[in-house]
Structures are given as C-alpha cells and as structure tokens.
Chains A and B, each alone.
Chain A
Amino acid sequence: MSDPTIPLLSLKNDHSAMGIKNDDTYGLHLEIATTDDWIYTPAGRFPDYDCQILISIRIGSDPDDLCASSPVADNILFTQYDRESIPSGSCDADVYSWDVTIAPENDGTIISKANALVIQMSKIKPNDAEGEATISLLPRLKARPSMGKTDINGTVMSYKVEKTTPPMVIKDVRWSLMDKSGPGTLTWTVTGDAQRCTIEANGEQIKLDHYERNDTTYKADMILQSGPQIVTITAWDPNDNTASNTTTMPFESFNPYFNLRISNGRPLSLVQSDQTAQLYAVFASDGSGAELWQNDQSGTQDNWKKKWAVLKGYETSPCVYYKSNFYLLGGSSFDFECFQNKFWKSSDGNWNTIAEPGGWKEPRIGQAVVLFNQSIWIAGGYGSSGKVYDDVYSYNQDQDQWTPRPTLPLPLCNAALAVVNGSLYLFGGFRDMPGSSASTKLYCLSGEYWVDQNKTPPPPATVADYWALGSLGDDLLLLGSFNGTSFTGKLKRDLLYWQSTTARLSDLLNFVSDDQSPFGFSTFAYQKRLFLIMTAAEGRSVFGYYDPSTAR
C-alpha cells in the first residue's frame, strides 16, 4: 500500500490581535484549511501514524521573533478544541514548538477544504521588538513507535503576524478615596475594542456585581482593603487578548485579616501539625481531586510545593500531620457526599488504613479533630444515619490504638477544638443536624470532665452561625459569625470574658446569606499568624490569616 499524502495548508480565517508590549497579552486565532481534503484511514486496527501540525515560533529579541524567551513561550495558552490534543511545547535553540495532534473524523478526514481546523493561542507576551513575527505550521504524519514507519512531512505554511501598537490601552486610573481604604469608586479608561474588564487587588480578583461604562470610561464601586494595595485592571478583547494596568495604592492602615490568593486551587483545609517548620494545606486543583501542599516560608503566595494526592473520597476530611505521617480521619467536615468511617495514614503518598475508633460504627462527617498531648483527638460528629455523637477518642501512633476519652458534654457535630497552654478547649457545635441550633459555650477538659468555662461570647456572639477556634501563643482565638455579624474574640487565662478584638473577619468573606455560609473550618498557627481556611462552595472558599499584631 502506498504511503498517505498530505495536501497544502491554507489560511481560511485570521482573527488575531498582536501588539508589541510584553506587559500585556495577545492572541492568534487561525482557521486552517487544506487545498484538498486531508484524509488518513489506517490500514489496520491500529494506525501507523498520528496526524499532527507542528507549530513553531522563534524566540529571541529580533523583530521576527515572537517571544523573548522559552519561559515566556511556555506560558502561551492553547485553546484545545474537539479532536485537538496539544501537549506542552518544547524549545530547541531559538525555536519553540508544539505538536498539535488531530484525531481524524469517523470518515478519516483530518482537515478538509470546507471544515477548517481552529488554532487559538492566547496569553502571548511579545518580545517588545517591533516587526513581523513568523509562525510556521508543518502538517505531518508522525510515525507511531514500533510500527516500522517513518514520519511523513507535508509543506510548511508560514504565517506572519505584525507586532504593532497594542490594540487596547488602559490609563487614567483613579480611586475616589485617594489614599484611604474602604468603600469607594474606581474609574479608568480603555481605548480599543475592550469587551470586559477584571480587577485584582494584591493578586486577588475582586468580584464586581457590575460596572458602568460610558464609551471609553469605566466606573466601579468596590471596597479596597487596608494596607498596601496593588490594583491591576485587565481589559479583554473579543479574542480574549488582554491589556493590563497596574497601580500601587499605599493605604496606611493594615487589616489584621488578609485573604491570600493561592494558585494551588480551591482551599479545602489546613493540616494541623505537630511541627511548625512547614505549613501544610489541602487544595482542590482542577475538580478531579485534591492534593497536599507544603510551604516553608511565609505561608503566603510563594514557595508552595505539591506533595501528593489526597485519597479520593477523603478530599475534605480532617487531615493532620503527626509524628512524620499524614492522617486522614473519617469523613469530611461538611460534605454530605463524603460520609466515611475509615482512617488513613501516609508517609510517602501511599495511604494505608489504620483501625477506626471502637465507637465508629457508621461513617461520619463533622467530627472535631485536634492534636493534644502527643496524640490525635477526635470528638463527636454526624453519622450517615443522622445520629449526632458525643464520643471522644485519642490515637497514639506508638501504641497504634484509639483510647476512649471523656465524652463531650452533649452530642455535637462541627464543634471546634483548640489547645492553649496544655489545656484542651471546646467551642460551638450543632446539637442536632448541621445547621440546627448551635452551642456557644466554651468548655475545657479537666480530668474526666468537660467544664463549662462560663465564658459565653457577648452579644451578638450568643447565636452562632459558624465558628473556628484557634490558638496563638497564650491566646485562645475565636473567629466566626454570630447572628449574622462577624466576630473575633480573644481569651487569655486570666480574662473573665471573651475580649472582642475586631469584627472584620467579614473582610475575608464574600458570603452574603446563610445559603452561602462556609461549612468547613481549619486553623493552624504558623509564624505568629493564625492561618484559616473556611471551605465553602466553589469560588467562595477562603484561605487567609489573622495577624493580631495589626489588630485594632
């Protein structure tokens, strides 16, 4: 049988927008047809070749180079259409290229005269050198390994794109409150074919209900938080090319709560730990699962390293790091899809079961977990039957066994535990099902009993919506929402009552109604800050820290 042939490529449509400035991003939208139908029908069950278009750009500082360097080219984003498979690109000297593999239609058609193949590249940062950049497209049949064939190349099609003045420019950015934080109005202008704008402050996207647009002038009401704010406005054209403008606003006061933006994905939980060299947390990266991440410096944006995957079905389970092992402890803290009664341990990414506590006869969610007295403590929870539990157990790794501990003063789920100065405290918890009436009492374990500390938070904190307990130094900290109002309380051993510090926990949150309240909490004290993850619906989960040194 003769080798298959490859017809010439032709450019059917071009909706590209390319500028010169490498602060902004541009895109190419090419619709590629062929002079004759390109058809490949495998001779047998398994094809000898993969049908590909090899896309190549030049990198460097010359006018005909597109990007300045290989790392810049790495960030170019391909939109993957049906039948297209586009792995990461690779660099060879001053040429950077991608293999676009195309799955043939059922009748073997790869590209036809009538039906063009769409190649869309975005987030292209050009090299700041005015001129025409060349992009070459080579159709080929790439021989599959072990099939005894060699590659068959077609004819290269060269496409030139002119790097000229950016099609969009953002300028005249003004904040109505000048050098002050708070609720105000941001105005700016955009020239060019802008379709929409987005705004980030300190790397965190600000959700806008709407903004007003009058020709080239834009206006949006928003709250900018205290502390130095780096505000970035991005404008998007019809092909998703962007232009951006960054303005620094040195607001003086500093919010004790800081909402961190992490590229790791949706924050799910912080990992309680018996060491403080690392901050561990669980993030859901792409909806397909969750991973453990570690951070060994500031605990903020940078230095995150992925460790390994969290066991499927246990993504939102309480997780602790204890004696050099990670533990996943029963079902999730909130998710009704994830009732579990298995317990897992891992030191290397392979999860192995350990025995469950004797009283765990059914899967649970909403159990409280803390590290106390060199053991893992686990208390209460909500069973898959709807039963609320009051049992408490501790696990010692050396003995590999669970020990019954004094039962809670009443059955509770979603309660919070924290340890301060060697004492174990209990706050909150739903008395019945999650979302039912909640306890607002603070208990301390004393011998065989949980003793009511008679330190009920002052109004409005008598009616609990949601809460988290944490410890920082000698302070027991209570962060939560009570009767619709956020509240932060601090308690020292010699204080008679919760000392209200700041109510600005709400600055962390986008939650506007009970239906969107967070439902999972985890805290961990790290480098003089109390880190907090409040898990909520997609897009509403919060990863932040509380810094008492800046609290008012």
Chain B
Amino acid sequence: MMNPSNSIQDTASEIRTVTLLPEADTYVDPANPTQSFAGKCLVISAEQNKPQKVAYVRFDLGPIPPTATITACQFYFTVEGQVTKQVVKLLLVDNDTWLEQITFTSAPKPTTTAIGTWQAKSKERVTTSGTNPILVDQVQKKLSAGAVRKISIQASSTFGQEGGAVSNSYWSSAQTSATNYGSGPRLVIQYKPKKEPLARDWSQSQADAEHSGRSAWVFANTPTATYLADSVLSGVQLTSPAVIQNELLYLFIGTELRVLDPNGEAARTLVSGQPGFGTLAWGPNGLLYAASKSELAAFDITGGGMKTISMPLTNLSSQITAGSDGSVYVVQGSTLFAYVRWGTKLKVSWSKDLGSQVSEATLSADGSVAYIAAADKLHARWTADGSKKWSYALPAQAKQLATPVAGGATNVVYFAVDNKLYVFKDSSYPIIPELGAEPLSQPVIDRNDTLYVVQGTKLYKVGPDATVQSSVIIPGIAANKPVQPVMDGDGNLFIIDYANKLFIYKSNLEPPAGFTPQVLPFGGSLGVLQVAPNGSLFCNSPTALFRLTPGVGSTVEVSSYADGTSYRAAASLVLDAAALPENSSIIFQSGGTITIESEFSVPVGTEVVFRAGS
C-alpha cells in the first residue's frame, strides 16, 4: 500500500522525511491488571463500547533537529494475524518515562488530546491521516520541550455494537516485527530544517543521497584552462574512496580510518585495527558511516572517532546511501536493507529482496522515496516502510546498471540501464529518449535537474521531460567502459577516461576557453572523483590519492559575493566588496595573501573560511 491519497508524499527538496521506530511499546489489559505484556504483539480491544486492552507506544524524536518546523506526521501500524473491523483512536500521553513492563495498574493515564485515528478492516497496514494538523502541532511542541524530546501515545478503541459484540485486533510491535522488519509501528515525520550555512562536504559516493554527482559549491573563475596535478598521498593501500567534511578528507587506508587536510597537514590516523571498510558516508552530527562486507559501523568523528555502532552485514554488495535524517541503505546480496536511527544506534526499518544485481538506493530529494535498479525491474519504494510506490519491468535482463539519480524540484528520477535511459517524472511509466547503442555512464544532474550522461564517445544533455537538449562528440575519449563523471555547482562536468585523461565540459557542452583534454601524470586505474568545496578535484588509484587544482589567476579581485561559492587566487585574493550575504557559506583561499578592503563584514549566521598561504 502506501500510495493512498492522504499519505505523506514526496515534496520539494527543502523538506526532509524521517521514519521513527518505537523505543518502547506494549499493551495493558484490565482483565489482567497486574500482568505485563512486554515483548508481545499489541492488542487493542473494546467490549460494549468500552475500551478494554489498550496499547502504549513511545517514539524518540531525537533524530529531528530541535529547530525544525514539522510539516506532516503519520503513524503506521500493521495488523498481526486477524483483525476485526475496528476504529482506533490515539491519545497523547504526557508521561514519557514509562517502561515496557507497565501493567494496567501502573500504566500512565492518557490525556484527552486526540492525535490520530484509523479504521481497520481488511487491509494489513493502516495509517493515520496524512493531513492531521493536531498531530503536527503536538509533535512540534514535543520537539521544543527541552532535553526529553519524546512522544507517547495510547491506542484504544470504543468501537463495537452495543449489546456485547467485542472488537479485538492484534498489531505488530517492535519486538514481534524483528523477523518482518517493515511491520513494526512507526511514526513518519516530514520537517523543514532551519536554514544553515551550506556544508563544506562531499558526503558520500556521487556526492549526496540523490546521487546527483554534483557538488553544491560554485567556484569563481572556473573551470580554468589548466589543472595542476599532484599526489596528496602515495605508497599506501586505499581501502575506500574519500568523503569530505569541513574540507577535510576521510578515508580508510588499510585498517585505519585517516583524516587528511589537503592544505598541508599530513594524514592523521583516527582509528586503527578496523576491517576493510570500502564505503563511507556522512550521517548527521559528525557521524561517519562505514561498511565492509560483513559490518556496518558508525564512527563519532566529533567525539574523536570512536566506533559507536557496529552491526553485522552479510555479503554487502553496494555503496552506503545515507539520508540526511541519518537513515542508511545498503544492499546485502540481493536484499535492500533500510536502517533508521534508534537512539544512539541504528535499527533495521525494513528490508526487501529485489531479485538480482541490485543497485545502490537513491533517495528522493525529501527522502520519502528510495529508487533502486535491479536486473529485471526498476523500483520506487516508500522509505517509511519499504512498500511499493511503483515498479517497472525492464524489457530484458539488464547487464549494466548505473546508480539511479533523483532530481530536486522537478521530482524526476533517471535510471541508466545498459544503453537506455529511463526517465520517470510524476508517473510509473518512463519516457525513454533515443540515445546510442553503447552502455551509459553514471549520469549526473545539474541544479535544474538536467541530466548529463556519457555514452561511448558522446556526451548527452537530457532535460527532465526526457528530451535530448543537445549532444556532443568527445574527441579522443577512451571510454570503452562506462566512466563516472562529476559536476560542480555551476554545471561544469569533469570526466577522467580510461587513459587517465581529464575532460571538462561546461553546461552548454563546450569545453572551457583554452582547455584541451589533459593527460594526467597519474598511474593506475583511477577511482571515482570528488569535487572539494574549494574547487580542487580528488581521485585515487589503489595506492595513491591525487589532486587536481584549478590553475587560477595569480591575483583575483572579488567585487561581489555569492552563497556557496569558493573564491580562489594563486597568490593574492583581494576582497573588494563589503558585506557577505546573510546565512551564507563562503570560502576565500589564496596561495599567498588575502586582502580585505574596508567595510567588509560577516553577518550573523554566515560561515566564512579564510585560507591563505598554502
């Protein structure tokens, strides 16, 4: 299910979606007033229009930023076993300290504040209405309630014919859903985070959970005609590609998690003695997720790098996808597992076997939908519980699947499968633009959701309406296998081919003025590219980490400032303009000096980095 008209829908990118699993749930029975039913399924019953067995459920709102604005909330419950027709009402419980071992005698009394209702008939899954301003108000109040940010509910029913009929229903609890992950109770919340300065990161494979392949940062006066190549690390055994946060690079080298300041400082070991973690992704609050074939871990980087989460995996077969809410998606064998934050830990929210050759999960901009490609089908599943939004059967077994790419405002999603591009926009049926015959590269998208994809020696630009806007032959590219381009925030595309040659194309599919494809002085097969917030590009071979630095001018004068922009000079950066924009994030970097003219000011809420002399 979970495509009812009143369900939480995927919305514009400023909205975030988080799924909460209960931290405690049980039911109590007046017929057995001192008996605890902890660990059992939840039972709700009524007799002669009076509630009998009532359920208690509590959720920790910790994963939601306290400053967020709640926009929608919805409870999900799943019938366990048989259900009789029943209407259930949820009442707010003010006491958030009760234990699962409560009995009818010791259970906290509910308030009179009703916050949700549902009708159960024959469907397995029920939800409260997706438009419930009273629940939104109550969650908002609880969110700003101080240190304890939890919400407790009592679920009861007075449904039933008078004269003796009993209405009795059984619902999955957190414990009883341990083998059927998606069936546990859950509270799905959408919120708008408070606007904060743009993070200086490349948070995971293909940049973000939408796998846009694009840095959010714009680099003034780039792309340049030349890029300076140097090695940052060499003679090491790289286990994972790097991810970036606060301009620092984090990666696994052998059994060590290392952090590297590319502007000078040597790589520093944060944690050692770890298994070969091959994929990394940033979660919220300085948590770095890492996965190996047999372990999903999280390292508290803010707290010094201590491993705080370790969960067993079986046959990991994908990169990590991490949602902005801290959720984690990985494929084990052919099964996609969704984990959500649960206190300081992760917990499996749902899992789905999707056949064979399953791609990474790509999240919609608001995090409400996960897109996955498999050998026989393309899938869209609600992240709330893994239920199907739609699926599309491929005409033939796919040989090569790229990671899906999800758009922002246009709600488009692109799947590159073998030599075909499937474009889904507000529909479960794709439009398939006419491209060439070779396998497609990993696509990337720009800020307008326009897609760029390399096929053989040709670069295509495809709009969200699936029209091929333009294409260009890339002379001299060695791309007998699909390449993995990346993009900066201005839509400039960077490609390294299999002869280790760098190609750059602007969003109009023209190379930068004066730029000719540049043979890189790097050996070995180069891995994926990352675009650093200051405009440098990083890539790696199995034994080295390389950097490409834009050949910016010696002296650069800046006459105005824009949010999410890095201004850079080789020797002298002169800041001519006065105030920076409010709530913005800006980087100033110079190989020599930074000169600040008078009346320069930094508004409250703006984050600015000055880096000179390196």
Q: List A contacts of B118 (CB < 8 A).
A: 336
B89: min CB distance to chain A, Å? 4
Residues of A bordering B, CB below 8 Å: 44-45, 106, 312-313, 336-341, 361-363, 382-387, 432-438, 463, 465, 483, 514-515
Contact partners of B135 in chain A: CB under 8 A: 384-385
Task: Give the docked Cα–Cα distance between A383 and B87 (Å).
Answer: 13
Report A-chain residues with C-beta under 8 Å of the C-beta of B119: 336, 434
Q: Is the beta-carbon distance between A361 and B133 smaller than 8 angstroms?
A: yes
Q: Indicate whether A384 sits within 8 Å of B134 (C-beta atoms), given known contacts A433-B117, A435-B85, A515-B85.
A: yes
Q: How far is the CB of B212 from chain A (nearest CB, A)?
A: 27
Are B117 and A382 neighbours in the complex by a CB distance under 8 Å?
yes
Chain B residue at minimal CB-CB distance from A463: B162
Q: Which of A362, A386, A436, A483 is the most central at the interface, judged by chain B CB atoms within 10 Å of its CB?
A: A386
Q: Which of B35-43, B124-132, B238-246, B345-353 contacts A (4 or more CB under 8 A)?
A: B124-132
Interface centre among B91, B132, B161, B163 (most CB of A within 10 A): B161
CB contact between B158 and one of A341, A383, A436, A515 (< 8 Å): that residue: A436
Are the C-beta atoms of A384 and B128 separated by less than 8 Å? yes
Let me know if A337 and B5 touch, CB within 8 A: yes
Contact with A along B92-135 (1 / 0, CB 8 A): 00000000000000000000011111110100000011011111
User: Nearest chain A CB to B196's CB is how many angstroms away?
Assistant: 31
Are B5 and A384 closer than 8 Å at their CB atoms?
Answer: no
Query: Is A362 a contact of B117 with CB atoms below 8 Å?
Result: no
List A contacts of B367 (CB < 8 A): none
Contact (Cβ within 8 A) B129 A363: yes
Given A436-B158, A437-B49, answer yes or no on A339-B131 (Cβ-Cβ < 8 Å).
yes
Minimum Cβ distance to chain B for residue A390 (Å): 14
Task: Name 10 A/B residue pairs within 8 A (Cβ), A-sorted.
Answer: A341-B131, A361-B133, A383-B114, A386-B90, A387-B114, A434-B119, A435-B87, A436-B49, A463-B162, A515-B121
B163 touches A483 (CB 8 A): yes
Q: B46 to chain A: which residues have CB within 8 Å? A: 436
Contacts of B129 in A (CB 8 A): 336, 339, 363, 384
| Nearest chain A CB to B418 CB, angstrom units | 13
Give the residue name and chain of the B residue nearest to A363 (CB): B131
B303 at the interface (CB under 8 A from A): no
A448 to B274 Cα, complex, angstroms: 77
Compute how far the CA of A206 lies from the CA of B159 in the bound complex, rounded to whole angstroms.
Answer: 32
CA–CA, A386 and B132, complex, Å: 10
Task: Write the chain B residue with the least CB distance to A46.
Answer: B434
A385 and B134 contact, Cβ closer than 8 Å, known pairs A363-B129, A433-B89, A437-B49: yes
Q: Are A463 and B163 in contact (CB under 8 A)?
A: yes
Instruction: Enumerate chain B residues within 8 angstroms of A336, measured Cβ to Cβ.
Output: 117-119, 129
Q: Which 5 A-B pairs have the closest CB atoms?
A: A386-B117, A386-B114, A386-B89, A384-B129, A437-B49
B90 / chain A contacts, CB cutoff of 8 Å: 385-386
> A362-B132, A433-B117, A436-B158 given. 18 additional CB < 8 A pairs?
A336-B117, A336-B118, A338-B5, A361-B134, A382-B117, A383-B114, A384-B129, A384-B132, A384-B134, A386-B91, A387-B114, A432-B89, A433-B88, A433-B159, A434-B159, A436-B46, A437-B158, A515-B85
Q: Give every chain A residue within 8 A of B165 (Cβ-Cβ).
A: 514
Known A-B contacts A336-B117, A339-B6, A385-B117; the reply to A45 vs B87 at CB < 8 A is no
Instruction: Flag if A385 contacts B87 (CB, 8 Å).
Output: no
Specify which chain B residues have a CB less than 8 angstroms from the CB of A432 in the assembled complex. 49, 89, 158
**Which residues of chain A have C-beta atoms less than 8 A from B4's C-beta?**
337
- Please report the C-alpha to C-alpha distance between residue A533 and residue B332 in the assembled complex, in whole angstroms: 54
CA–CA, A341 to B121, complex, Å? 24
Inter-chain CA distance A465–B165, complex, in Å, is: 12
Partner of A514, one of B6, B85, B91, B113: B85
A312 to B4, CA, bound (A): 13
B160 at interface by CB-CB < 8 Å: yes
A362-B133, A384-B132, A386-B114 known; A337 vs B6 contact (CB < 8 Å): yes
By a CB distance below 8 angstroms, the chain A residues around B132 are 339, 362-363, 384-385
Roughly how many angstroms separate A92 CA and B539 CA in the complex, as a whole number? Answer: 71
Interface size counted on chain B using CB atoms at 8 A:
40
Quick one: closest B residue to A483, CB to CB?
Answer: B163
Give Cα A111 to B85, complex, Å: 50
A497 to B162, CA, bound (A): 23
Q: Which residue of A lies closest to B119 (CB)?
A: A336
Chain B residues closer than 8 Å to A312, beta-carbon distance: 5
B162 engages A437 (CB within 8 Å): yes
A337 to B161, CA, bound (A): 23
Please pick, from B91, B134, B159, the residue contacting A436 in the complex, using a CB distance under 8 A. Answer: B159
In the complex formed, the residue of B with least CB distance to A433 is B87
B117 proximity list for chain A (CB < 8 A):
336, 382-386, 433
The answer for the CA separation of A174 and B46 in the assembled complex, in Å, is: 49
Task: State whether A436 touches B114 (Cβ < 8 A).
Answer: no
Give chain A nearest CB distance to B377 CB in angstroms. 16
Instruction: Answer yes or no: B521 CB below 8 A from chain A CBs.
Output: no
In the bound assembly, the distance between CA atoms of A432 and B433 in angstroms comes to 55
Q: Which residues of chain A are within 8 angstroms of B87 by Cβ–Cβ distance?
A: 433-436
Contacts of A433 in B (CB 8 A): 87-89, 117, 157-159
**How far is B134's CA from A385's CA once the two chains are assembled, in angstroms?**
6
Residues of A within 8 A of B264 (CB): none
In whole angstroms, what is the CA distance A341 to B131 when docked?
A: 9
A401 to B321, CA, bound (A): 52
Residues of A within 8 A of B434 (CB): 44-45
A431 to B165, CA, bound (A): 17
The reply to whether the CB of B304 lies closer than 8 angstroms to some CB of chain A is no
Residue with the greatest number of chain B CB neighbours at <10 A, chosen from A313, A383, A385, A514: A385
Could you mark each residue 53-91 of chain B with 1 if its beta carbon is under 8 Å from any beta carbon of chain A, else 0?
000000000000000000000000000000011111111
CB distance from B122 to the nearest CB of A (A): 9
Hey, which chain B residues are within 8 Å of A45, CB to CB?
433-434
Q: Distance in Å from the Cβ of B444 to the closest Cβ of chain A?
A: 24
A336 to B161, CA, bound (A): 19
Bound together, the chains give a CA A384 to CA B130 distance in angstroms of 9
* Cα–Cα, bound, A44→B157 (Å): 62
With CB as the reference atom, state the residue of chain B lying closest to A436: B158
Report if B395 contacts A (CB, 8 A). Answer: yes
User: Are A435 and B160 neighbours in the complex by a CB distance under 8 Å?
Assistant: yes
Residues of A within 8 A of B49 (CB): 432, 436-437
- Tell whether, in the assembled complex, residue B161 and residue A383 are in contact, meaning their CB atoms are under 8 Å apart: no
Would A384 and B160 count as touching, CB distance under 8 A? no
Which residues from B are CB-within-8-Å of A483? Answer: 162-163
**A362 CA to B136 CA in the complex, in Å?**
11
B115:A385 contact, CB within 8 angstroms: yes
Bound together, the chains give a CA A434 to CA B113 distance in angstroms of: 18
- In this complex, what residue of A is CB-closest to B48? A437
Cβ–Cβ < 8 Å partners of B161 in chain A? 463, 465, 514
Question: Which residues of B lie under 8 Å from residue A437 when comparing CB positions?
Answer: 49, 158, 162
A367 to B404, CA, bound (A): 46
Tell me the minimal C-beta distance from A288 to chain B in angstroms. 12
- Cα(A437)–Cα(B51), bound, Å: 12
Query: How far is the CB of B471 from the nearest CB of chain A, in Å?
Result: 13
How far does the alpha carbon of A386 sit from the alpha carbon of B90 in the complex, in Å? 7
Minimum CB–CB distance from A350 to chain B (whole Å) comes to 21
Complex: how many Å from CA A265 to CA B116?
33
Residue of A338, A363, A383, A433 with highest tally of chain B CB at under 10 A: A433
A342's nearest neighbour on chain B, judged by CB, is B131
Cβ contacts under 8 Å, A338 to chain B: 5-6
A537 and chain B: residue at smallest CB distance: B121
For B1-36 the 0/1 string (1 means CB < 8 A from A) is 000111000000000000000000000000000000
Q: What distance in Å separates the Cβ of A513 from its nearest Cβ neighbour in chain B? A: 9
Tell me how far the C-beta of B187 lies from the nearest C-beta in chain A, rounded to whole angstroms.
14
A69 to chain B, nearest CB (A): 40
Partner of B134, one of A340, A383, A435, A514: A383
- State A341–B129 Cα separation when bound (angstroms): 12
Q: How far, in whole Å, are A435 and B120 apart by their CA atoms in the complex? A: 12
Q: How far is the CA of A44 from the CA of B343 in the complex (A)?
A: 56
C-alpha gap A341/B133 in the complex (Å): 11
Q: Which of B125-183 contact A (CB under 8 A)?
A: 128-129, 131-135, 157-163, 165, 167
